[in-house]
Amino acid sequence: MSAEKRLNMREIKVLLICLLMCVGTGVTTYYAVKRQNKKIAVADAVRLFDQFNMKKEMEASAKVKLDMLNKQADSVGSLLQAARAVHDEEAEKKFTYAYSYFRSSFDEEYTRSNREINEQVWKRLNPTVEEFGRKMQLHVIIGANGMGSVLYNDDYYDVTEELIKYVNARYEGKQ
Amino acid sequence: MPGMKGNNKYFMILVMLSLCACRKGLPPQQYVQYVQDAKNGLLKNVQVSEWEYKIQYRPAEFILLTEGKTVSDGKVRKKRNEQLSDMAWFNISFQHIDGKISPLRYALSSRGEYDLRLNYFLNEAARSIKLICNWKDTLTPTSYLFENHYNLTPQETMVVGFHLPSGAIDEMQLSYEDRIFKTGIIKTIFRKEDLDNIPKLVY
């Protein structure tokens, strides 16, 4: 009777060991698969920004004003040169003031429009990139910007083209 | 005689096809609901950061109904319909997501800023709106009105009308650049199928 019991106990021990091994293998496989399924993508942030249609359109719109200011400054610059050539001191003084005024207006407008375009474009891009990540079931999208955050990536992880298409389609109201 | 039989068959198929192709008709109340239902593609909602924009396409019949002009008005209705035809009308409404205060008064730093905003929407915003028809004609508004709610509602509305070019309109893309709240350019497309599916108004 006791021999039978001991046998049973041994059988139970073997079974338990088998069970533990199965559970261990299962857990290891689960984590290995999970690690494999972790989807990471890289997108070129500079290309994304440059090829976003809204940025292009806003830049084109700002360029009109900037060109006008630049032409005004150039015209005054020509007048200033002419005044210098004829040694007209009074005109030179007047045009120097006017020239610096138009130049600083151009610089201010350039800085302001650049800042506004940057802010507005990223305000629009950030939620759309997030939406893209969710749609593609990505866990992380790393923004490569040439500043050393991503030193190398092959095409396998690069989603820049898809992302550009997606953000532009969303912007144009096509999706 | 066998030829006649064949003709009848084709005639029946033609009748059935034309019945299928017919736009459905809706009574006034349901017509208004149809146009205002975002599912039907005539109302577009766009959210950019903390601002919500609603762009409503308004067919002529819809405008007549919302103005309270019914079939009983007869001549008045006909005249108004003539005024509205050949035009595409849109309402562009916007509000802050918290919906508590008029956008004109939101996060103001001075009275001057309020005046600047009001002036923009009264006089300048029309220049920031355009409509692209069939992906070839870029139209600027021929009619523009800012519905001034005098800060009584959390939503403000711009009413814009574009004179449409001759020929069929397949698709329209409305774009608006908000230069006050700096939300960039907002674009929405009104698709051919949604425009074709607008029901007829039946009384």
Tell me, yes or no, whether A32 lies in a domain. Answer: no
Any A CB within 8 A of B184 CB: yes
Contacts of A75 (CB under 8 A, 6+ apart): none
A positions 108-127 inside 8 Å of B (CB): 116, 119-121, 123-124, 127
Tell me, yes or no, whether B73 lies in a domain. Answer: yes
- Per-residue pLDDT of B167-192, as tens digits, reads 888 899 999 999 999 999 999 999 99
Confidence of residue B69 (pLDDT cuts 50, 70, 90): low
pLDDT at residue number B134: 92
Domain range for B80 is: 25-201
CA–CA distance, B94 with A93 (Å, rounded to integer): 50
Q: From the list A119, A124, A174, which residue is nearest B48 (CB)?
A: A124
Mean of the per-residue pLDDT values of chain B: 88
The yes-or-no verdict on residue B71 having pLDDT over 70 is: no
Tell me, yes or no, whether B98 lies in a domain. Answer: yes
What value of ipTM does the predicted structure carry?
0.79
Domain range for A134 is: 2-25+37-171
Give percent of chain A with pLDDT exceeding 70: 91
Tell me, yes or no, whether B10 lies in a domain. Answer: no
CATH of the domain at A164: 3.30.910.20
The yes-or-no verdict on residue B197 having pLDDT over 80 is: yes
Count of structural domains within chain A: 1
The yes-or-no verdict on residue B15 having pLDDT over 70 is: no
B positions 26-55 inside 8 Å of A (CB): 44, 48-49
Mean of the per-residue pLDDT values of chain A: 89
Any A CB within 8 A of B177 CB: yes
Tell me, yes or no, whether A30 lies in a domain. Answer: no
CA–CA distance, A80 with A97 (Å, rounded to integer): 10
- Per-residue pLDDT of A35-80, as tens digits, reads 566 688 999 999 999 999 999 999 999 999 999 999 999 999 999 9
The yes-or-no verdict on residue B22 having pLDDT over 60 is: no
Residues of A in contact with B185 (CB under 8 A): 54, 57-58, 171
pTM: 0.78
Count of structural domains within chain B: 1
- Per-residue pLDDT of A8-46, as tens digits, reads 888 888 889 989 988 888 888 776 666 566 688 999 999
Instruction: Characterize the bridge pairing of strands B172-178 and B200-201.
Output: unpaired
Tell me, yes or no, whether B15 lies in a domain. Answer: no
pLDDT at residue number A32: 66
Q: What is the dihedral of CA B87, B90, B91, B92, to 10 degrees?
A: -130
Tell me, yes or no, whether B152 lies in a domain. Answer: yes
